Amino acid sequence: MDEFQKPVFPSPRDPNVSFLYDLLDWLDARQEKNTNACRLTDETHGALYQTTQALGEIARYCFSELHLCFVLLGKLQTDLLEDRFGKYRRLAGSHYHVSIRQLYESENKLRLQSTLPRVSTSAANHTDED
């Protein structure tokens, strides 16, 4: 098993917890460099930094407040949320920035699609011959 897919434990010497904080330090050091070739965009840096910091805080909270023995940080993901927003973008004409109106319209379309029965294309093209 990959070392970074293993559970995170409350030990301060857990390599996965250490990796998170080392990554935060590395991100700061890399962003402070003046050359554009070595920098992440501000948006990418901010998102990666915030996500990494949040994972560390989630682990800390689970250990100190919930008294869990371990945490599977790999199970924390936003794939379903990203999939939904991808559908909103496609239904809004593949624009990256979706307005609130387009979001509501897309949500209504998706809800309607989920309630209607699916019709296969082969059944729709089939005609009865008498």
pTM reported for the whole predicted model: 0.60
DSSP string, 79-119: HHHHHHHHHHHHHTTS-SS--HHHHHHHHHHHHHHHHSPP-
The answer to whether residues 57 and 95 belong to one domain is no
Q: For position 30, what pLDDT does the model report?
A: 82
The answer to whether residues 14 and 71 belong to one domain is yes
Q: For position 48, what pLDDT does the model report?
A: 92
Digit-coded pLDDT (tens) for 33-63: 766 676 788 888 899 999 999 998 999 899 9
Spatial distance between the Cα atoms of 49 and 25, rounded to a whole number of angstroms: 10
The answer to whether residues 39 and 95 belong to one domain is no
Digit-coded pLDDT (tens) for 65-100: 999 999 988 888 778 888 988 999 999 888 888 899
Return the bridge partners of 43, or none. Answer: none
Question: Are 91 and 105 a contacting pair, CB within 8 Å?
Answer: yes
Q: What is the mean pLDDT of residues 17-33?
A: 87
Q: For position 124, what pLDDT does the model report?
A: 55
**Residue range(s) defining the domain that contains residue 104:** 79-116
